[in-house]
Amino acid sequence: MQATKSWGKVLVMGLAMGWTLTAVADPGVVAAKSAKTTKEARAAAAVKSAKNDWAVCPVEKTKILKSRAVDTAVYQGKTYYFCCAGCKPAFIKDPAKYLK
Ligand SMILES: [Zn+2]
């Protein structure tokens, strides 16, 4: 009985993994991803390439991992990373105030 139980477990795990792989390789999923706006894609790429890279939130002066930033904004060609949802709108409202 024990052996039958373990085999069942392996089968369920295999099915679960197979499902995950199918979902990732699904062309529909890929198409949906590329349909994102350029702005979104660029922000995502910036966050992705910035893995393990540190930044300082210009609003609260908090040191944050770029990959963990809640949001980003590009101002005068420079990318800024924000530690919480309220920081981006505050920064956009008056960037000069936070860049002194
Ligand atoms: Zn913040």
Residues 71 and 57 in one domain: yes
Residues 27 and 48 in one domain: no
**How far away, in angstroms, is 38 Cα from ligand 1 center?**
25
Residues 27 and 51 in one domain: no
| Residue that is written with structure tokens 């060609």 in the block | 77
**Closest Cα partner for 81 from 3, 96, 24, 61?**
61
For 43-85, the pLDDT digits (tens) are 777 666 545 789 999 999 999 999 999 999 999 999 999 999 9
Please, are residues 97 and 74 in contact by the beta-carbon 8 Å criterion?
no
Question: What is the pTM for the complete model shown?
Answer: 0.49
Residues 23 and 66 in one domain: no
Burial letters 78-95, b for 16+ CB under 10 A, else e: ebbbbbeeebbebbeeee
Residues 44 and 1 in one domain: no
**How far away, in angstroms, is 64 Cα from ligand 1 center?**
10
Residues 44 and 67 in one domain: yes
**How far away, in angstroms, is 26 Cα from ligand 1 center?**
37
Helices (H), ranges, 2-94: 2-25, 27-34, 38-49, 87-93
Residues 30 and 42 in one domain: no
Provide the pLDDT for residue 3.
Answer: 55
Residues 15 and 45 in one domain: no
Residues 28 and 42 in one domain: no
Cα-to-chain-centroid distance, residue 76: 23
**How far away, in angstroms, is 97 Cα from ligand 1 center?**
15
**Closest Cα partner for 64 from 83, 47, 77?**
83
Provide the pLDDT for residue 66.
Answer: 93
pLDDT classification of 93: cutoffs 50, 70, 90:
very high
**How far away, in angstroms, is 46 Cα from ligand 1 center?**
19
For 1-43, the pLDDT digits (tens) are 555 566 666 656 555 665 454 445 556 655 555 556 788 877 7
Give the range of the structural domain holding residue 24, as residue numbers without chain letter. Answer: 1-35
- How many domains are there within the chain? 2
Provide the pLDDT for residue 37.
Answer: 76
